[in-house]
């Protein structure tokens, strides 16, 4: 979580975040085709990538699992085990999830594989980022896909041309409501389609 939310000024407790972490990562650990790479520096994880080759199967799994998460969060709320920060997190995350599903249904994602990539600040422009990106490209080639999709979080100052030069075609930019609230600054979710040569 330190890698994903390194700039947070508020964060739910680990117990409150547990359902979300499971929703975000469990599919990848259960699917035998998932490929995971981890980058470390001085014994600390500074970045990771997770490559999903079957987004349709993942979406079916997410639909089933989301209902269970909803029940768990409502139980925490009713029993007083969910703080205001925890409740705020899940409300905003639900809104973000609806926006993501809506954009994917518009055909931006298609059936391309996708990568889940997080790199700690301070390591995003050097060899760690390059190593993880090259690894994802190689995984994409192995499964015979011409491109993969990814989403990055960027501030208002993130330049579209720079993202396109480094990563690929920007296909959507939307405010990441959850991350903006957690960090206290505007954060955009930038969806990118990266063509593998």
pLDDT at 84: 95
pLDDT at 141: 95
Q: List, for residues 125-177, the tens digit of each pLDDT value.
A: 788 989 999 999 999 999 999 999 998 888 877 788 888 888 899 988 899 99
Say if 125 falls within a structural domain: yes
Element of type H or E holding 145:
none
pLDDT at 59: 85
pLDDT at 197: 77
Q: State how far the Cα of 188 lies from the Cα of 177, in Å rounded to an integer.
A: 8
Rounded percentage of the chain residues whose pLDDT exceeds 90: 55
pLDDT at 122: 83
Residue 191 vs residue 9, higher pLDDT: 191
Closest by CA position to 176, among listed 164, 167, 185: 185
Read off the pLDDT of each residue in 2-11 and give the average, rounded to a whole number. Answer: 69
Say if 91 falls within a structural domain: yes
Query: Is residue 27 left, alpha or beta, with left meaning phi > 0 and alpha meaning psi from -120 to 50?
Result: alpha
Name residue, tokens 């249904």: 105
Number of domains in the chain: 1
Read off the pLDDT of each residue in 100-122 and give the average, rounded to a whole number. Answer: 76
Residues 6+ apart with CB under 8 A from 82: 16, 73, 76, 90
Q: How does DSSP classify residue 143? A: T
Q: Cβ(89)–Cβ(178) under 8 Å?
A: yes
Closest by CA position to 188, among listed 153, 149, 150, 161: 153
Least confident of 80-89, 105-114, 155-164, 177-186: 105-114
Q: List, for residues 38-47, the tens digit of each pLDDT value.
A: 999 999 999 9
For 150, list phi and psi in degrees, rounded to 5.
Answer: -150, 160
Read off the pLDDT of each residue in 62-79 and give the average, rounded to a whole number. Answer: 93
Domain ranges, residue 129 = 14-145
pLDDT at 52: 92
Closest by CA position to 156, among listed 129, 182, 176: 176
Say if 122 falls within a structural domain: yes
Average pLDDT taken over every residue of the chain: 88
pTM of the model: 0.83
Rounded percentage of the chain residues whose pLDDT exceeds 70: 93
Q: State how far the Cα of 16 lies from the Cα of 83, in Å rounded to an integer.
A: 8
pLDDT category at 105 given cuts 50, 70, 90 is: low
Query: Is residue 53 left, alpha or beta, with left meaning phi > 0 and alpha meaning psi from -120 to 50?
Result: alpha
Contacts of 105-108 spanning 24+ positions with Cβ under 8 A: 108/149, 108/171, 108/172, 108/191, 108/193
Q: Cβ(51)–Cβ(35) under 8 Å?
A: yes
């Amino acid at each position: 979580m330190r890698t994903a939310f390194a700039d947070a000024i508020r964060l739910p407790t680990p117990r409150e975040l547990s359902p979300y972490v499971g929703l975000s990562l469990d599919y990848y650990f259960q699917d035998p085709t998932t490929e995971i790479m981890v980058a470390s520096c001085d014994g600390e994880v500074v970045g990771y990538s997770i490559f999903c080759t079957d987004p349709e199967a993942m979406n079916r799994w997410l639909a089933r699992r989301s209902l269970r998460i909803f029940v768990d969060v409502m139980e925490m709320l009713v029993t007083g085990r969910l703080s205001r920060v925890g409740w705020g997190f899940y409300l905003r995350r639900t809104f973000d999830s609806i926006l993501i599903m809506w954009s994917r249904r518009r055909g931006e994602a298609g059936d391309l594989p996708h990568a889940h990539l997080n790199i700690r600040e301070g390591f995003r422009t050097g060899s760690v980022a390059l190593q993880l990106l090259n690894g994802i490209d190689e995984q994409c080639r192995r499964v015979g896909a011409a491109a993969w999709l990814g989403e990055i979080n960027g501030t208002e100052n993130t330049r579209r041309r720079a993202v396109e030069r480094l990563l690929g075609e920007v296909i959507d930019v939307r405010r990441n409501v959850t991350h903006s609230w957690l960090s206290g600054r505007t954060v955009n979710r930038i969806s990118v389609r990266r063509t593998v040569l």
